[in-house]
A = this chain, B = another copy of it.
Amino acid sequence: MKLSARNVLPGKVISVSKGATTAHVRVELAPGLTVFSAITNEAVDELALAVGDTVSAVIKSSDVMIGK
Report B-chain residues with C-beta under 8 Å of the C-beta of A65.
3-5, 37, 39, 57-60
**Contact assessment for B66 and A27 in the assembled complex, using a CB-CB cutoff below 8 Å:** yes
Q: Give the A interface residue count (CB, 8 A).
A: 50
* Bound-state Cα–Cα, A43 to B9, Å: 16
Q: Residues 10-54 of chain A: 1 if any B CB is under 8 Å from the residue's CB, otherwise 0?
A: 000000011111111101011001011111101110110100011
**Contact assessment for A58 and B47 in the assembled complex, using a CB-CB cutoff below 8 Å:** no
Known A21-B17, A35-B7; contact A67-B61, beta-carbon cutoff 8 A? no
Which residues of A does B touch, CB under 8 Å? 1-9, 17-25, 27, 29-30, 33, 35-40, 42-44, 46-47, 49, 53-68
